[in-house]
Amino acid sequence: MDSPIGPLGVELDAGTVIGVRFGASSAWAGDAGAGHRVLEDLAGYFAGTLTDFRVPFELRGGSEFERAVWGQIAAIPYGEMRTYGAIATALGDPGAARAVGTACNRNPVPVIVPCHRVVGAGGKLVGFGGGLPRKRQLLELEARVALERAWG
């Protein structure tokens, strides 16, 4: 799909999102209804009307540590951020901030599992598989929507 952050490709298996790729064309086979639901959710997210994805997703592959990082990322609320160090600490290994960054880069379903919400110490924008301009756009979108909702 075309999006404000460029083309996104979505990979589905039996109606479940198993991959999101930046700059790629969508690739789903068979279940057009599931593909339509994913596009609706993504369109709603980018329009600022959807803050929690409804489509089912599955995090395939990855090491035990990577899956634990992805679980932490998935729990970050819309419009909020966590540092790589905070996630490492939450996983019981405060020195693993770089490993958390590597796991973020390997996230198979970015945007849906919001690795863009993970930042460096002091809120510094570092590392993002989709590039820092996309990360900034996603964070700015969420900040704007969260502010609009708070002030109604």
- Catalytic residue list: 115
Q: Where are the beta strands (DSSP E) in the chain?
A: 8-13, 16-22, 82-83, 118-119
